[in-house]
């Protein structure tokens, strides 16, 4: 497997700020990329310049219709329920939606 792209640390810092008020979020690397977890559930990861987040399948198409949201394809593979945020300035609500989904799934 080829190495993951170098994570954009500015994106990581932005996710940290978005999640700062969320209890029980921890940061840990996943395959060499910064990632954020609620319990054992990953809610966001930094993959190159993108931020990958997990949403309910029923919300993915709506998210993909928004500017700056694309399918998340780490290593060229699609991941069901995951989208990539190319920027965070107007998409912080989706990061919080990922946290809410992780809570519903159970930690």
Residues 6+ apart with CB under 8 A from 68: 85, 86, 87, 90, 91
CATH code: domain of residue 73: 3.90.1150.30
- pLDDT tens series, the chain, 107 aa: 677 899 999 999 999 999 999 999 999 999 889 999 999 999 999 999 999 999 999 999 999 999 999 999 988 888 889 999 998 888 999 999 999 999 999 87
Number of domains comprising the chain: 1
Is residue 2 situated within a structural domain? no
What's this model's pTM, rounded to 2 decimal places? 0.92
Domain that holds residue 29: 9-105
């Amino acid at each position: 497997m080829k190495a993951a792209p170098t994570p954009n640390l500015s994106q990581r810092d932005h996710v940290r700020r978005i999640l700062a008020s969320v209890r029980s979020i921890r940061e840990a690397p996943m395959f060499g990329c910064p990632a954020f977890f609620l319990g054992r559930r990953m809610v966001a990861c930094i993959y190159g310049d993108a931020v990958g987040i997990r949403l309910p399948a029923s919300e993915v198409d709506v998210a993909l219709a928004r500017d700056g949201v694309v399918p998340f394809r780490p290593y060229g593979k699609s991941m069901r329920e995951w989208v990539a945020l190319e920027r965070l300035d107007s998409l912080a609500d989706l990061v919080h939606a990922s946290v809410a989904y992780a809570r519903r799934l159970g930690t």
